[in-house]
Structure 1
Amino acid sequence: MATYSAYSDQELVALLKNGDHMAFGEIHKRYYPVLYSHAYKRLPYREEVKDILQELFAFIWTNRESLYFTSGLSAYLYTSVRNRVINVFSKDKIRHEYASSFAKYSEEGDNETDELLRHKELIALIEKEVAALPDQMRKVFEMSRFQHLSHNEIAEITNTSPLTVRKQIQNVLKILRTKLSSAIFFILY
């Protein structure tokens, strides 16, 4: 029985392509420590480095029949480790950017949602109080604030004087201020 440690890389690769487990074991034994050191210099996380090397050797075994090493086995292994380390950095960068983006959106989205909710509550409260006004006052107020009619235009429509319209709008605003002042405090804070 031949000792695999005496074989060259080319011979080990040829045996590996034929499914020789011992040749694969020798490649792993020969290169794992140096590849680990190479990767650890660039990525000082032991578990990440172990994962990278495990994925690399699993890939080599799975694809052993179709692998072609143009520059030799060692060059292929070093390049593969370097590329996998770069991929880890790229994934970490993307994860970090996504997390930052999500955190920023969460902060802004919460404020936006709160403001929108407060705005809707305030509008609903104002509409409720306006609906509770006496008919004539409510009509005058709605024409003034929602239809944007002038006091003279409202006076013509309601067959009253512009002074009466002005007084009704002042009364409505006074009523709304009184009824809404404490409610607005609770909605806004």
Structure 2
Amino acid sequence: MLSYSTFSDSELISMLRLSNRAAYTEIYKRYTAVLYSHAYSKLQDREEARDAIQELFTTLWLKRENISIETNLSGYLYCAVRNRVLNTISHKRVASNYFVSIQEDFNRFESITDHRVRENELAFLIEKEIASLPPKMREVFELSRKSNLSRKEIATQLNLSEKTVKNQINNALKVLKLKFDSILTLVIF
């Protein structure tokens, strides 16, 4: 029986080009361990290192007829595995950046959504507290804050003195401030 372990790398490559499976197997046996060790030292992941070696030897077999080795076989295989390792690292980096980007988008969306929910809750609470003011005070306050009327315009429209309008607005603000201090504490925390 012919022992392929005695053949040189260049002889094995010549036989590989002719689709000699035994030559391919000898190349695989000769270089797998050292290439795996190199891939693993760079990737620190057994599966990824195995995948890099598997891809390398699969490509070697698939392209065996057209393989062009400018240097020696070990240098060719080392460069090929190094390129696969660099591709794996590059893909991990791209995937990591992609996932970080997705997480940032999710956090931003979640923050905007949370902000809008809180804003809507606060608007509801404000409207509820304004509605609970005494009727005349509420009317004066709403004309002041929602309709943007001046004290004089409110006084004329409601047939009140400007001083009464001023007092009603100030009293409404005091009542709302007291209620909102406790509400804001609950909403914020």
The offset of 1:28, in angstroms, is: 0.3
Q: Can you list the C-alpha shifts for 1:94-117, whole angstroms capped at 9, x where unaligned? A: 455455556666666655544443
* Structure 1 unmatched ranges of 5 or more: none
- Provide the identity percentage: 44
1:62 paired to 2:65: no
Q: Can you list the C-alpha shifts for 1:105-154, whole angstroms capped at 9, x where unaligned? A: 66666555444432321111111222344554333222322343321232
The residue correspondences of 1:5-16 to structure 2 (distance < 5 A) are: 5-16=5-16
CA distance in 2 between partners of 1:55 and 1:163 (Å): 87
CA distance in 2 between partners of 1:103 and 1:60 (Å): 39
CA distance in 2 between partners of 1:18 and 1:127 (Å): 86
* Structure 2 unmatched ranges of 5 or more: none
> What's 1:172 paired with?
172
The offset of 1:78, in angstroms, is: 0.8
The offset of 1:83, in angstroms, is: 1.6
Q: Which moved more, 1:34-43 or 1:74-83?
A: 34-43
1:119 paired to 2:123: no
Q: Which moved more, 1:44-53 or 1:162-171?
A: 44-53
> What's 1:183 paired with?
183
Q: Which moved more, 1:161-170 or 1:30-39?
A: 30-39
> What's 1:83 paired with?
83
Q: Which residue identity does 2:149 align to in structure 1?
A: L
Q: Which residue identity does 1:34 align to in structure 2?
A: V
Q: Which moved more, 1:109-118 or 1:32-41?
A: 109-118
Q: Which moved more, 1:54-63 or 1:106-115?
A: 106-115
> What's 1:138 paired with?
138
CA distance in 1 between partners of 2:141 and 2:65 (Å): 85
Give the number of equivalent residue pairs: 189
> What's 1:48 paired with?
48
> What's 1:128 paired with?
128
Q: Can you list the C-alpha shifts for 1:162-189, whole angstroms capped at 9, x where unaligned? A: 1121122123224434544443332221
SS in 1 for 2:50: helix
TM-score when normalising by structure 1: 0.76
